[in-house]
Structure 1
Amino acid sequence: MKNNIILIGFMGVGKGTTARAFTKKYGIYIIDTDDLIESKENKEVKKIFEKHGEAYFRKQEQETADWIEKCVKGTLISCGGGFYKVKNLKKLGTVVLLDASFDWIYNRLKHAKNSKSKLAKRPLFSDEKKARKLYNEREKAYKKLADVVVDVEKMTLDEQIAYIAKKCKV
């Protein structure tokens, strides 16, 4: 058994924040799929999209998922918003969806201390209407894939990580 926890959800929902809080409390190692791809490519996600396009980036996500499946266990994996499309997601571990409405996510990003950089590093969030459409397209798929759903609008960060730990038997 891999014992990985796979955090999925729309960009900006707080996967990285949740992962960092989780590791602080439970000592589990965390990795971020976007960070892995940026390291491999030696470019930020935004620059990868600009130079090579989305299809190339999705190919990098699949290669990352294949590596995780072969090499990673006992880890919390924070995934980019589109990572749910990898063909072997369910083989990587327990899939946990951080779920929130589009408006909640957008307001979270817009009112963050470093909101400009938070929005700038998410290339698919540059146009609010397109981002909302993308959210609507992904919402059902996220829920269908999830083993555990966490409503981040109704829970504090501490409640979220305790709930994930309980559901994933950490």
Structure 2
Amino acid sequence: MKTMKKKNNIVLIGFMGVGKGTIARALYKETKFFPLDCDDLIESAYNLKIKEIFAKHGEDEFRKTEKKLAKFIEKNVDNAIISTGGGFYKVSNLKKLGTIIYLKSDFDSIIKRIETSPNAEKKLAKRPLLKDLNEAKKLFDKREDEYEKVADFIVDVSDKTPKQIAKEIKKIIKGPKDGNSLNRTCKS
């Protein structure tokens, strides 16, 4: 029987707009693991913004690219904080990429967070799946249970600053003395 080797990465999952990228940057200051943003890497590969990739190539093509990126991360990336897109949790090799942390928040708080951010229009424009809030809420409801099923740990991000969340995640993953080794104890 082949055992699955888990990478020494922190993989942040959660609904779009929950703050995965922001929290990855705050976590970098706590752990010195290098932050990688999956959406930024895909945008760079296409030389297009996510909304343009969806418009020009469709969601299926975007999801195929996420799968390619997941394979690349599995083979080549270690000691990193991976902030993922909202649908990245579906990649088949997710558990091999590292310790999966689900950043949990309620839907209204996510929308409020986006709408009150300094670049609210830009953030809303780059998320094509948020065009229709009723449809986005249905997607959120569907994904919430799925995120919980694949997560090693769940961190409630409601009413917390990125720094507080980063410190909480650091406590979860802290290894002996330096905080840069992941503890492999996971939720049951």
**TM-score using structure 1 length:** 0.96
Give how far 1:97 is off: 0.6
C-alpha separation in 1, matches of 2:29 and 2:129: 30
Q: Secondary structure at the match of 2:62?
A: helix
Give how far 1:154 is off: 4.4
In structure 1, the partner of 2:85 is 80
Structure with more of its chain in helix, by fraction: 1
Say yes or no: does 1:158 pair with 2:145: no
Q: Secondary structure at the match of 1:53?
A: helix
Give how far 1:2 is off: 1.9
In structure 1, the partner of 2:102 is 97
C-alpha separation in 2, matches of 1:31 and 1:6: 10
Q: Following TM superposition, where does structure 1 have runs of at least 4 consecutive aligned residues deviating by more than 3 angstroms?
A: none
| Aligned positions, number | 170
In structure 1, the partner of 2:75 is 70
Give how far 1:156 is off: 3.0
Query: Is the radius of gyration larger for structure 1 or structure 2?
Result: 2
Out of 12, 17, 40, which is 1:12 matched to?
17
Alignment deviations for residues 74-99 of structure 1 (CA, whole Å, 9 cap, x no partner)? 00000000000101101100000100
Give how far 1:17 is off: 0.6
Say yes or no: does 1:119 pair with 2:127: no
Which blocks of at least 5 consecutive residues in structure 1 are unaligned? none
Q: Secondary structure at the match of 1:76?
A: strand
Say yes or no: does 1:136 pair with 2:171: no
- The RMSD of aligned alpha carbons is 1.0
**TM-score using structure 2 length:** 0.87
Q: Secondary structure at the match of 1:149?
A: strand
In structure 1, the partner of 2:182 is none
Give how far 1:110 is off: 1.1
Partner amino acid for 2:105?
Answer: A
Out of 136, 151, 162, which is 1:146 matched to?
151
Partner amino acid for 2:63?
Answer: R
In structure 1, the partner of 2:59 is 54
Alignment deviations for residues 65-118 of structure 1 (CA, whole Å, 9 cap, x no partner)? 000000000000000000001011011000001000000001111111211001
Aligned identity (percent) is 52
Which blocks of at least 5 consecutive residues in structure 2 are unaligned? 1-5, 180-188
C-alpha separation in 1, matches of 2:9 and 2:82: 7
Partner amino acid for 2:153?
Answer: V
